[in-house]
Structure 1
């Protein structure tokens, strides 16, 4: 699925404590699960995946903000609840834990129905959130799913139905690989942005450095209205890229794997 109305079947992996990740499976493989969280990066397609799964399973799609603010419906749906955007309500809350507590209260009022909840990877609190949601899951179990990036076949399926890239879908993908930015196309939002930036595939910048600059400028932008509204400071793209470059240099020089935030 993409944000532009083009649908492809999405895949996910389940992370099991003490065992690592399972083999990729269609997201539909977890329709019988009592409860799961779907984690992914910004723009990966969590919302469209939830909307599609809710329709296919007879469930109800609702944003986390509306679920908290408006309360539960008078009658639970026959299928599971799809609560979308835990990260969005956390972005506007002084406490990262309070929004999930409000969601848990509403689920408890509803009699602990089957549910799914989505969140950005960076805003998921790991074991703390898992234990909190297990306490309101019907069976006391919660599956942790990670939405996978688009593979080549899925990218081509999307490009073939994009007016700007349909005629040269294979060439566009080939050029992305040659310029070293294939990984970015695995994100539906970035895929669409790259199509807009380079056209049908014959307008790529001359050098690899220019392509990376173009890609980084797209990555530095915030496209989610909720996150953009709640941002206390809105630094320019240039400032964000300079800061990201400094952090990347520190990682390379120190040999560490990441930063704690």
Structure 2
């Protein structure tokens, strides 16, 4: 998102009469813990309300929508000696995509964080799941009906194609990968020699069993070592009882 796109997006967000479950306006409050909890809450709300993205915007008064600017710079902010962005990524699970945009709007400095929806399970920060209730951030476990509905939506997504964050190629059985290669070559005979020159990860990416070098649940279930498939089985939404 470039500056023009960011300004256009902010115009769109300011057109809402008030904050929503997936939009949060702030002036300067950027305590790291608070940001992490809001990312969890908004990512889960985006999925619950089936929106494309959620946003936290610094430099806007939440009630009046007045553009006041902010003295925050999330890109330069650190927690101890660690950059804020890396610190958040380590404590959010499963991993969630968010991006930070810093730009000027009506000659005032603005910071916008765009947050992607939760994918195959609710997003947690430091092991706790959050949700937005109106314009307030709350613990998801305190709202069982919303938690149940969220899991129902997540269960309809293509869970098998999602990445299993803990898994690596070492969790896959080399013999199973070799067998999968032969099956792939059988279906793609014109590329047989080319396939022989691929290393295992290149093959897995080409066969769509991995995504950018990361192991999917499908890869674990089809090719995983016996002790590794539990990564996927433990994440099946149905085990939550919903």
Please give the range of the TM-score, normalised by the shorter of the 2 chains: under 0.3
- Bigger CA radius of gyration: 2
Higher strand share: 2
> So what's the TM-score if we normalise by structure 2?
0.26
> So what's the TM-score if we normalise by structure 1?
0.25
Higher helix share: 1
- Identify the structure with bigger relative contact order (alpha carbons < 8 Å, sequence gap 6+): 1
